[in-house]
A and B are shown apart, each in its own frame.
Chain A
């Protein structure tokens, strides 16, 4: 039965790729789990070096890719869901493609699916990076995800190692409830702030409900936090990111200090969020016994994950794709754009389909205003382009400099027609807007299908 199930599911993946129906990143796994529900557990147990699971609202795809790159340098063979299909079906599909020599699993897991997937995957390492408000219609309130993660941590066996971002107040507190835990965090630095952004979420103490104090914030509510009422505070990290230098849109350098060691890292992906991602990746690799030189090499030779800091050339113009699907992620992308003095031709595409979240109220929680004086031209697209236009209009962005082209075909035509005058094009799409854009660019020959690039 096991063999028949495996055979049929694999065949479905091949057929799906041939028919070009979505790259077959989830369908084979879906069929397999229907035919043999225990298969995910069985396949995960076949990995003799164990399973690493990475979860977060933002950064899990990039971090998983970073870890995979470093592990590749150490010549360990692994299996991973690098295409970003991060539910049970996507992980089962990845496991179906496991090669006999693969010893390790590296999986990014959707934050809502994490509690139910942990008993299936029985990971040796779980990495919790951040929790921000995201697609409230789909994930529900942040607080309910925190509660589910709390219950999950309480039932973890002692042998499971947790690696947790100390700078996230909710996660820092949750991590402290498990004995086998290591924290990572970022030292106070010149890119931080003392003001909490509008969309800060975890601002009350998990233990006593009092308002938290922040000595510094980095991204959203991440930072150096403490509770004056009960004394709960940011745990002391094992891995500390320090000497951070963000090199405009090109990437960053920083050092990781752990115990008596200091390792310099170079990451070719821009922004402080990628420092967090690289720090998490370093912590995972270091805790898994990967040599520092291999981690350094793995991180410095990284290419962008699908739609995350990815550069595409179209109509002779380079365009940077920065996936933006929730307030914290979008704000962090905007902060990153502020690292360059250059004027930006900004394109934002807002869809409201299931994978984007049907509730688009989150755009009002993004601090777009911070980059108004850097915008050379603004182009607005997507299913809900007019909502986005209103977001800018009510912040006094001049409508004369706003081009509204709802359809993706219209968007590409507009970019082509104006390519002479475009300088630095940056596109902030929601998830399905990115897929639409990629598929349209693929039609005109500017990109490959993403499953051909894996």
Chain B
């Protein structure tokens, strides 16, 4: 049986928006299709070996913890970049999208370097961007609506090598100015959308899993469909609570 190997980076520090729900969704949707999976937590001071993972997850944390993590990531950034070049799948959420970029300039003008697996840069804004977030997302030429929640002070702008994950229907997204949200570059996805993002957006979960299985086996799998009726109901309710008419 194929085992999909998931790395959960800094689960102790970066976990404040129900991030473990994303991991649970990835594992269960693999299990329900006959794949096995493993989750390896990697924290501060521990080594990251890019050759033993198919998918790498990093979630959202408090500013204070994010600084601790940013410093530790410096020691892992070369390994993470080599993983990204090798087609490893990344989902880095909230604080994660900022850490994946070139860097973050805080409100005092201090610069915190990022890992550089996404061509984007972030600086602190005056007020936090908080609320429901609804997108029209596009990946591999397919489109889908994504719904979740955002809560961030950073304003993120993409460079030419990254494309947005989607365009904003409701909420602020990357910066509250250009209607973009998230970033995609090869198999690296960064997004401000938590909620957590995957339980209500099975299309995105399955896209990540398709890529992760491909990374593991070298072939593109045909994922069998699952009964997503609860997921779809939860998504519809969230979209209507966000005030988006469809």
Contacts and interface: CB of A to CB of B under 8 A. Distances in A.
A320 B24 CA distance: 31
B179 interface: no
B241 interface: yes
Given A359-B17, A391-B21, A394-B24, A383 B151 contact: no
Given A141-B62, A203-B12, A209-B68, A361 B18 contact: yes
Contacts of A203: 12
A46 interface: no
B234 A387 contact: yes
A363 B18 contact: yes
Nearest to B197: A361
Contact of A394 (B15, B21, B131): B21
Interface string A379-400: 0000110110111011110010
B244 interface: no
Interface string A281-294: 00000000000000
A143 B68 contact: no
A199 B20 CA distance: 10
Central interface residue in A390, A396, A399, by most chain B CB within 10 Å = A390
A203 B194 CA distance: 23
Interface string B186-212: 000000001110011000000000000
A328 to B, nearest CB: 13
A137 B149 contact: yes
Given A143-B62, A364-B20, A386 B196 contact: no
B230 interface: yes
Given A137-B130, A359-B151, A386 B237 contact: yes
A198 interface: yes
A389 B228 CA distance: 12
Contact of A395 (B24, B231, B238): B24
A142 interface: yes
A320 to B, nearest CB: 26
A352 interface: yes
A386 B233 CA distance: 7
B149 A365 contact: no
Interface residues of B, number: 34
A410 interface: no
Contacts, number: 92
A26 B91 CA distance: 45
A: interface residue count bin: 20 to 34
Given A363-B18, A386-B230, A386-B233, A358 B68 contact: no
A77 B200 CA distance: 53
A204 interface: yes
Given A141-B62, A143-B63, A387-B199, A361 B194 contact: yes
Contacts of A137: 130-131, 149, 151
Interface string A383-427: 110110111011110010000000000000000000000000000
A360 B242 CA distance: 13
Nearest to B22: A364
A275 B28 CA distance: 38
A23 B200 CA distance: 38
Contact of B25 (A133, A209, A363, A394): A394
A37 interface: no
Interface string B1-31: 0000000000010011111110011001000
A141 B230 CA distance: 31
B153 to A, nearest CB: 10
A363 B16 CA distance: 11
B245 interface: no
Contacts of A360: 149, 195
Nearest to B234: A386
Interface in A345-359: 352, 358-359
Nearest to B67: A209
Central interface residue in A141, A360, A361, by most chain B CB within 10 Å = A361
A141 B94 CA distance: 14
A387 B238 contact: yes
A140 interface: yes
A322 to B, nearest CB: 21
A136 B234 CA distance: 21
Nearest to B149: A359
A383 B16 contact: no
Given A383-B237, A393-B230, 16 more contacts: A137-B131, A140-B128, A141-B64, A143-B63, A359-B130, A359-B149, A359-B194, A361-B194, A365-B18, A384-B234, A384-B237, A387-B238, A390-B199, A390-B230, A390-B231, A394-B21
26 contacts: A136-B151, A137-B130, A137-B151, A141-B16, A143-B63, A209-B64, A209-B68, A358-B131, A359-B151, A360-B149, A361-B194, A364-B21, A364-B24, A364-B196, A364-B199, A365-B15, A365-B18, A384-B241, A386-B237, A387-B237, A387-B238, A389-B230, A393-B230, A394-B21, A394-B24, A399-B230
Interface of B: 12, 15-21, 24-25, 28, 62-65, 68, 128, 130-132, 149, 151, 194-196, 199-200, 230-231, 233-234, 237-238, 241
Interface of A: 133, 136-137, 140-144, 198-199, 203-204, 209, 352, 358-365, 383-384, 386-387, 389-391, 393-396, 399
4 nearest A-B residue pairs (beta carbon): A364-B18, A364-B21, A361-B18, A386-B234
